[in-house]
Amino acid sequence: MKIAFLGDISLNDNYTFLYKDGEKPFEEIGQVLKSNDYVIGNLESLSVGSCGENVLKNPRLKTNQETLNYLSDIGLNVALLANNHAYDNLKDGFEKTVSFLDGHFIKHLGASTAKGEERRSLVLNKDGVSVCLLNYVSKDTNPSLPDDADVYLNFFDEENVIEDIQRSKSLYDYVLVLLHWGGRCEGGMYPDWDQPSIARRLVDEGADMIIGGHSHTVQPYELYKGKYIFYSLGNFCFSDIKNDNGTTSFMDRKKNCFSFVPLIELSNNSIAVNEMFTFRNRDGVVVLTGRPKFSLPFFSLIKRSKVCWKLYYFISFKISPMLFFFLSRNMSFKEKCKRMDFIKIKRLLMK
C-alpha cells in the first residue's frame, strides 16, 4: 500500500477565482501523486453555508463547493477534518462539505455532526495490509467553538489517544496518528517544547507513525525507535485570507508557501518512507522544488535543552514580530507608532 501525506489544504479566496477562470494549479503535483493508492491531507477550508459563520473564530476560512473540485485534481481520497477551522461555516457549511466529499468518494474522519462519531477511526485495506488512521486536534489551536456547537471535533486527550492506539493495534497491521497540534508555536520552524515527548509516548504505546500539521510551516522530522515523527508538513495550498473588515492576512512567502510531502509504503512486515518531496505555492500554483532540507542539528539541541528552546521561542514569537513590524517599509515610522497596540504587545510578552 502506497500513501502520500499532504499538509494543510485550503482552497480559500483566490482559489475560487482560479477555478472560475479554468486554471489548473495542481497539474504538476497531480502527476507526482497519482501513483499512490491513497492521498491523505488536512482539509481546512470548508464550503460556505447559508447560515453564516462562526464569529468567535478569527480568521475564518471558506470556499465553495465547486472549488472543492480541485481536490480531484490533487487526487485526495482521505480528508482529515479534525482541525481548528472545521466549524468556521457552522453546521450547514460542514454538512455541505461532507456531502461533497461523500459524493466524490473521498473518505473523511476527525469531525462529525453526530456526537461520538468524531472519534471513529478510518481503516484502509489493500493487498492484505490494514492501516488504521486516527485523527485529532488539540485545543491550543483555538477552534473557538461556541458552547452549543453542533459539529463535534475529535479533541486530543492523551489518555483517550493511547486507548485508541492500543485498541487499534490489536486489530490492524499499522496505526497512524494524524495530529493538528502545536497552537502556541503556530508559524514557528520548530515544534513546541512538549510535542516531541508527547509523540514519543504515543510511539511507545504502539503508534507506527505520527504526522502533524497546523503550524503552516515545514518543521523537522525525526526517527524514534525506527518510527517516523513528522511534526508539521506545512501548507500544501493556502491563499491569502481576505477578512471581513477589508484587510488581508498575507501568507509569508518564505515560510508559509512550502510543503513537505512524504510518500510511504506499507507491506505485511514493514513500513518505509520511499520518497520525500517539497512543493512551493507560487501564487496558487503548486510546483515541485526537490528534496527537503532541515536544520536537524539545531532541532536536536532545542528538543533536549529547555533553556535553548525558551531562547528560540522568545526570539521567534516575541522579539521577531516586533522587529519585522518596525523594519518593514510598507508604512512610515510615524504611522507605525500610531498603529501600535500596546495591549496586544503586553499580551504577546506575557504569553
Q: Of 179, 161, 157, whose CA–CA distance to 83 is shortest?
A: 179
Q: Which of 177, 97, 68 is nearest to 133 (CA)?
A: 177
CATH 3.60.21.10 segments of the chain:
2-304
3-state per-residue secondary structure call for the chain? CEEEEEEEECCCCHHHHHHHCCCCCCHHHHHHHCCCCEEEEEECCCECCCCCCCCCCCCCCCECCCHHHHHHHHCCCEEECCCCCCCCCHHHHHHHHHHHHHHCCCEEECEECCCCHHHCCEEEEECCEEEEEEEEECHHHCCCCCCCCCCEECECCHHHHHHHHHHHHCCCCEEEEEEECCHHHCCCCCCCCCHHHHHHHHHHCCCCEEEEECCCCECCEEEECCEEEECCEEEEECCCEECCCCCEECCCCCCCCEEEEEEEEECCCCEEEEEEEEEEEECCEEEEEECCCCCHHHHHHHCCCHHHHHHHHHHHHHHHHHHHHHHCCCCCHHHHHHHCCHHHHHHHHHC
Q: Is the pLDDT confidence value at 58 over 80? A: yes
β-bridge mates for residue 315, sequence order: none
Q: Cβ atoms within 10 A of the Cβ of 120, count?
A: 15
| pLDDT of res. 328 | 55
Q: For residue 168, what are the contacts with CB-CB under 8 A and spacing of at least 6?
A: 121, 132, 134, 175, 206
Average pLDDT over residues 31-35: 91
pLDDT score recorded for residue 255: 86
Of 22-26, 138-142, 333-337, which range is least confident?
Answer: 333-337
Please list, in sequence order, all residues whose beta carbon lies within 8 angstroms of the beta carbon of residue 324, skipping any fewer than 6 positions away: none
In this predicted structure, what is the pLDDT of residue 244? 81
For 88, list phi and psi in degrees, rounded to 5: -55, -35
Confidence of residue 27 (pLDDT cuts 50, 70, 90): very high
Higher pLDDT, 118 or 326: 118
pLDDT grade, residue 199 (50/70/90)? very high
Share of the chain above pLDDT 70, in %: 89
CA distance 303 to 69: 40
pLDDT at 350: 53
Name beta bridge partners: 47: 63
pLDDT at 240 over 90: yes
pLDDT at 346 over 90: no
Neighbours of 249 (CB within 10 A): 11
pLDDT confidence of residue 189: 92
Name the average pLDDT for the chain. 90
Question: Band of the pLDDT at 320, cuts 50, 70, 90?
Answer: confident
User: Would the CA dihedral through 190, 4, 73, 66 be positive or negative?
Assistant: negative
Is the CB of residue 58 less than 8 Å from the CB of residue 245? no
Do 182 and 215 touch, CB atoms closer than 8 A?
A: yes
Closest CA to 220 of 191, 180, 253, 257: 191
Rounded to the nearest angstrom, the gap between the alpha carbon of residue 112 and the centroid of all alpha carbons in its chain is 18
What band does 192 get if pLDDT is binned at 50, 70 and 90?
very high
The confidence score (pLDDT) of residue 37 equals: 97
pLDDT tens per residue across span 247-266: 888 888 888 998 999 999 99
- Number of Cβ within a 10 Å radius of residue 203: 20
Q: Between these two residues, 275 and 181, which has the higher pLDDT value?
A: 181
Of 2-11, 141-150, 327-336, least confident by mean pLDDT is: 327-336
pLDDT at 208: 98
d(CA 127, CA 44): 31
One-letter amino acid for residue 9 of the chain: I
In the structure, what pLDDT confidence band is assigned to residue 246 with cuts at 50, 70 and 90?
A: confident
Comparing 294 with 60, the larger pLDDT belongs to 60
* pLDDT tier at 271, thresholds 50, 70, 90: very high
pLDDT of residue 290: 76
Q: Strand 38-43 to strand 78-80: parallel, antiparallel, or no bridges (unpaired)?
A: parallel
Banded pLDDT at 245 (limits 50, 70, 90): confident
Cis-peptide, bond into residue 59, ω within 30° of zero: yes
- For residues 56 and 231, what is the distance between their CA atoms, to the nearest angstrom? 27
* Inter-CA distances, 123 with 103, 168, 171, 191, Å: 19, 10, 10, 28
Position 16 scores a pLDDT of 96
CA 309 from chain centre, in angstroms, equals 22
Q: Does domain 2-304 have CATH number 3.40.50.300?
A: no
Mean pLDDT of 25-31: 92
